[in-house]
Amino acid sequence: MKFLSALLLAGYSLSLQAAPIGVDGARHLLERTGFGAPPALLAEYSRLDRAQAVDRLLNGKESGLQSRPPEISYERPGALKNLSDDERKLAQRERVREGGEMRAWWAGEMLRAPSAQDALRERMTLFWHNHFVSSQQKVKSGTLMLRQNELLRRYALANFGSLLHAVAKDPAMLVYLDGASNRKSSPNENFAREVMELFTLGEGNYREQDIKEAARAFTGWSFAPQSGDYLWRPAMHDDGEKLILGRRGNFDGDAVLDILLAQPAAAKFIAGKLWREFVSPVLDAQQVSRIAAALRGAGYEIRPALRALFISEAFWAAGNRGSLIKAPVDFIIGTTRTLAVDVPDALPLALAMRNIGQDLFAPPNVRGWPGGEAWINSSTLLARKQFIERLLRASEMERSAMLRRESPDPADGKTRMAEAMRQIHFDSAGWLSHYRDFSGLQLALLALPPVQEISAPQIGLPLLRTLLLDPVFQLK
């Protein structure tokens, strides 16, 4: 009898996987793996079954960058020291302006990702930004932060081992975790500690002595102040024998990274972070081990691990729907993409994300943004509500008035911000025309039924506002 029940259950599961995922399934997949669910992508993916949708997402053609990163001149470390007070203030204001340009550019890339594949790459770039944390506040170089962003994007869906080796020698990381000052005469343990605790193994899978020995191996990794490029300084390297995680040898930094990758704990640690990012804040030890096995079996290639995750029953389970709180990037970019709002200049979106707790290029500390319930408090909830109201007020009348205004002076930050806000436009009638009834609209927007009771709903702006302001809209 148990055998028959198991067969019936397996057959039911297979039939679910072979059926089209529908609007609800497409919204779930697109919101979890990208930012929001634009109507065109929702229609495209709703017709596919689970395997087809996941394979298209992971293997479909990408469009690449939608715009060039801002051009920021490289500034040598300590360049402000010899300036006068007035010159220093001007240089610092320029840094602030450049920071705004960087944030607006990346927000624009996430917003305008034309395909689900492009949105996934942006999602994974952000994921690695919050894993291999660096912050412009300490690095103090927009050039180095943009180079790191390009590196994270290039390896976002490639090989974790290759990404680890590249990030470890990335100048922004060398500045952020003091690797550039790590030398034979005075080893600095910051990077060695974080590469074990936060980047590969997790707490409890190494000893303090392993950190000390690994720090010696990473000596000599630096960068050229004139160009900001990685630079190997052999005179600063400790080439003596080290004992790390039970292995003995004259290891350099690359050898240590390979030792870490060889530990079973490394794949399990990365799998756990992927699980929390895409499935649930609560780890399932058995499922995480399965994803870790897929990651190790593929030689740390990221796509096979993601496929194992996205195709799993757990990813699609009803109990895991609505289990993740939308991060500020999810909420701001996702809402704007879902509603197909026209935002010519993404600077207001970048600043809105910062105001509710997620400042791009500036995670709060080496552990990154904590996420989850930390995103929500009375202040951020109010700011989220105000953002929704602002989007819904972006009417045709405002756009017509905006088009009659003179072009702003790009050097005037306040003028640019005001103009960028005026340029935001939402064609509510056109967007709502995609949905014929309340059920279809609800499935396109909410991961769970709304908390607020809605009686005799009619498709229109008032209903859309009600759904967007429902507490469930904060979940994905």
Q: What pLDDT, in 10s, does the model give residues 145-178?
A: 999 999 999 999 999 999 999 999 999 999 999 9
Examine the fold and report which residue of 60, 87, 104 is the final residue of a domain before the chain moves on: 60
Rounded CA-CA distance 291/277 in Å is: 13
Per-residue pLDDT, averaged over 391-410, amounts to 56
Inform me whether the pLDDT recorded for 456 exceeds 50: yes
> For strand 221-223 and strand 230-232, is the pairing parallel, antiparallel, or unpaired?
antiparallel
Look at residue 463 and tell me if it is in a domain. Answer: yes
Look at residue 80 and tell me if it is in a domain. Answer: no
Per-residue pLDDT, averaged over 434-445, amounts to 95
Inform me whether the pLDDT recorded for 312 exceeds 50: yes
Look at residue 159 and tell me if it is in a domain. Answer: no
160 near 300, Cβ under 8 Å?
yes
What phi and psi values does residue 159 have, to the nearest 5 degrees?
Answer: -120, 125
What is the count of structural domains for the chain? 2
Letter for the amino acid at 376?
Answer: I
* Residues with Cβ within 8 Å of residue 272, at least 6 apart in sequence: 202, 283, 288
**pLDDT digit string, tens, across residues 326-379:** 999 999 999 999 999 999 999 999 999 999 999 999 999 999 999 999 999 999
Inform me whether the pLDDT recorded for 136 exceeds 80: yes
* Residues with Cβ within 8 Å of residue 379, at least 6 apart in sequence: none
Classify 261 as helix, strand or coil.
helix
Look at residue 378 and tell me if it is in a domain. Answer: yes
Confidence band of 395 (pLDDT split at 50, 70, 90)? low
Examine the fold and report which residue of 60, 93, 108 is the final residue of a domain before the chain moves on: 60
**pLDDT digit string, tens, across residues 190-245:** 999 999 999 999 999 999 999 999 999 999 999 999 999 999 999 999 999 999 99
Q: Cα–Cα–Cα angle for 205, 365, 146, nearest 5°?
A: 105
Task: Say what the pLDDT of residue 394 is.
Answer: 85
Confidence band of 9 (pLDDT split at 50, 70, 90)? very low
Rounded CA-CA distance 227/225 in Å is: 6
Classify 247 as helix, strand or coil.
strand
**Sign of the four-CA dihedral 12, 18, 24, 28:** positive
Look at residue 8 and tell me if it is in a domain. Answer: yes
113 near 66, Cβ under 8 Å?
yes
Inform me whether the pLDDT recorded for 465 exceeds 80: yes
Inform me whether the pLDDT recorded for 14 exceeds 60: no
Inform me whether the pLDDT recorded for 398 exceeds 70: no
Look at residue 69 and tell me if it is in a domain. Answer: no
SS3 content of the chain, % helix, strand, coil (to 5): 60, 5, 35
Report pTM.
Answer: 0.93
Task: Say what the pLDDT of residue 407 is.
Answer: 45
For the chain, the straight-line distance linking the first and the last C-alpha, in angstroms and rounded, comes to: 38
Look at residue 366 and tell me if it is in a domain. Answer: yes
> For strand 242-244 and strand 247-249, is the pairing parallel, antiparallel, or unpaired?
antiparallel
Look at residue 442 and tell me if it is in a domain. Answer: yes
Domain boundaries, position 45: 1-60
H or E element: which one contains 221? strand 221-223
Confidence band of 415 (pLDDT split at 50, 70, 90)? confident
Strand partners, 301: 159
Inform me whether the pLDDT recorded for 474 exceeds 80: yes
Examine the fold and report which residue of 60, 85, 103 is the final residue of a domain before the chain moves on: 60
